[in-house]
Amino acid sequence: MRIGVPKEVKDHEARVALVPSGVAALCEAGHEVLVEAGAGEGSAITDQDYARAGARIVPTAAEVWSGAELVVKVKEPQASEYGHLRPGLTLFTYLHLAPLPELTRRLLDARVNAVAYETIREADGSLPLLTPMSEVAGRMSVQVGAQYLERQNGGRGVLLGGVPGVAPAEVVILGGGVVGTNAAKIALGSGARVTIIDRSLKRLRELDDIFHGRLITLASNVWTVSEALRGADLVIGAVLIPGAAAPRLVRREMISRMKPGSVAVDVAIDQGGCLETSRPTTHTDPVYLVDGVVHYCVSNMPAAVPRTSTFALTNATFPYIHLLADMGLDAAVESSRALGEGVNTYRGQLVHPGVAESQGLPWRELASVGDIERGHF
Ligand SMILES: NC(=O)c1ccc[n+]([C@@H]2O[C@H](COP(=O)([O-])OP(=O)(O)OC[C@H]3O[C@@H](n4cnc5c(N)ncnc54)[C@H](O)[C@@H]3O)[C@@H](O)[C@H]2O)c1
């Protein structure tokens, strides 16, 4: 199969969908890979790196899109890319179609078979192509928190680990899932005192085991959150209720009782945030103050570390890319139910109920459309 890797065009997007090791593995398996010149630049991967791995470097996006049967990307197609969409093309990328009716219509009209990273779901309910970005954001949350705790950045002037004779910082993490666990690892590694609050006792038990009691676990309720925040230097928002807006665990009055110069990093801002005082910010202008508490609410944190994020993402996407390349979409979907969950549009039909529901559009079961009908999906 011919696989195309265009350079990302979304504002500030510096990740790329395939790395040289992936190119080498696909070429080894007999496939051909077209990479747009400069596609890896933002992730510090050169055209020479790709060429050495066996890719053909092509000068324009148009040549990548028109020459490939499978296009792999990071972000959803932008308006400037709509002209490249065509019948029969398989597109594999983050799509987040629910709030994008225009793009949904374009994909349906152009009869593109679009597979979304974010809706691929394994049998245990996990979302394997979202996990790596949560790992990145979780680890970064402590790094940025430490930075904004510094006096010259508006913080209280506290070093996370303290020093002998001086107490370390108190880090409170709301939500002990992927983001929260990764935040805890880095905070503990820096020598901070860490408390994780989660509503799942099962999860708290697991965390207690994983960290051998090196952190405090607390059951989530208004009282616990309020008391924990009073003593916190850094609070990290990492709760998620899948498919719903983040619960607003932290009320305005809790923020006003926090220590002046303490820092709140609300990673859950992409689902609306878990602090009443959170509003989305950008890497260009990442923080603002509420009642003396520094708020960092950047909704695409991994964009700040594109090289790490690119490798983390492609480690997770590559097995599916390989499957799509080896088998083609129809057979790949029949062999992997998880991949099937990723298909959002197929042969001009919307086949994902979540996207259909959020846009008030009709949808069909993937298995009832086209060739997959005859398969065992
Ligand atoms: N800002 C960014 O750049 C960025 C990057 C990656 C992920 N995220 C977001 O971070 C959030 C967390 O992601 P995740 O992968 O860790 O999710 P996850 O599902 O792994 O973990 C969420 C945790 O929150 C807990 N929780 C739910 N409701 C709670 C409540 N009321 N009180 C306490 N705990 C509660 C759950 O029990 C679970 O353990 C998501 O909104 C995700 O989209 C943001």
pLDDT one-digit tens code per residue, 178-197: 999 999 999 999 999 999 99
Task: Assign 297 to helix, strand or coil.
Answer: coil
Residue 375 above 50 pLDDT? no
**176 in contact with ligand 1, CB cutoff 6 A:** yes
Residue 377 above 80 pLDDT? no
- Check residue 180 and give its pLDDT: 98
**199 in contact with ligand 1, CB cutoff 6 A:** yes
Q: Are 154 and 261 in contact (CB under 8 A)?
A: yes
Arithmetic mean of pLDDT over the chain: 95
C-alpha of residue 196 to centroid of ligand 1, in Å:
12
Mean pLDDT, residues 73-100: 95
Residue 372 above 70 pLDDT? no
263 vs 321: CA distance, rounded Å: 40
**322 in contact with ligand 1, CB cutoff 6 A:** no
Amino acid at 202: K
Single out the residue of 176, 116, 130 nearest to residue 270, CA to CA.
130
Which 8-state DSSP code applies to residue 177?
S
Residue entry with tokens 């996207």? 355
**239 in contact with ligand 1, CB cutoff 6 A:** yes
Residue 306 above 50 pLDDT? yes
Mutate to test the pocket of ligand 1, among 96, 127, 134, 287 (most ligand atoms within 8 A of CB): 134
- Check residue 374 and give its pLDDT: 45
Residue 289 above 90 pLDDT? yes
Query: Which residue numbers are catalytic?
Result: 96, 270
Amino acid at 278: S
Element (H, E) at 34: strand 32-36
**137 in contact with ligand 1, CB cutoff 6 A:** yes
Q: Which long-range contacts (CB under 8 A, 24 or more apart) does 56-61 make?
A: 56/32, 58/34, 60/36, 61/6, 61/7, 61/9, 61/36
333 vs 323: CA distance, rounded Å: 9
Residue 90 above 50 pLDDT? yes
What are 142's two structure tokens?
A: 């402590």
Mean pLDDT, residues 345-357: 94
Amino acid at 22: G
Segment 33-67, tens digit of pLDDT: 999 999 999 999 999 999 999 999 999 999 999 99
Element (H, E) at 202: helix 201-210
Confidence of residue 371 (pLDDT cuts 50, 70, 90): low
Single out the residue of 220, 216, 170 nearest to residue 191, CA to CA.
170
- Check residue 373 and give its pLDDT: 45
C-alpha of residue 151 to centroid of ligand 1, in Å:
29
How distant, in Å, are the alpha carbons of 154, 287, 299 from that of 281? 16, 7, 7
Segment 319-334, tens digit of pLDDT: 999 999 999 999 999 9
Mean pLDDT, residues 151-158: 97
With a CB cutoff of 8 Å and minimum separation 6, the contacts of 367 are 373, 375, 377
Single out the residue of 213, 211, 208 nearest to residue 198, CA to CA.
208
- Name the closest-CA residue to atom 30, ligand 1: 199
- Check residue 358 and give its pLDDT: 84
**128 in contact with ligand 1, CB cutoff 6 A:** no
Single out the residue of 108, 247, 82 nearest to residue 174, CA to CA.
247
337 vs 227: CA distance, rounded Å: 45
Ranges 83-92, 111-120, 200-209, 239-248: which has the least confidence: 239-248
- Check residue 243 and give its pLDDT: 65
Residue entry with tokens 């129809």? 330
C-alpha of residue 339 to centroid of ligand 1, in Å:
23
121 vs 90: CA distance, rounded Å: 19
| Cα angle 250, 252, 258; round to 5 | 80
Confidence of residue 245 (pLDDT cuts 50, 70, 90): confident
Rounded to two decimals, the pTM is: 0.91
Q: What percent of the chain has pLDDT over 70?
A: 97
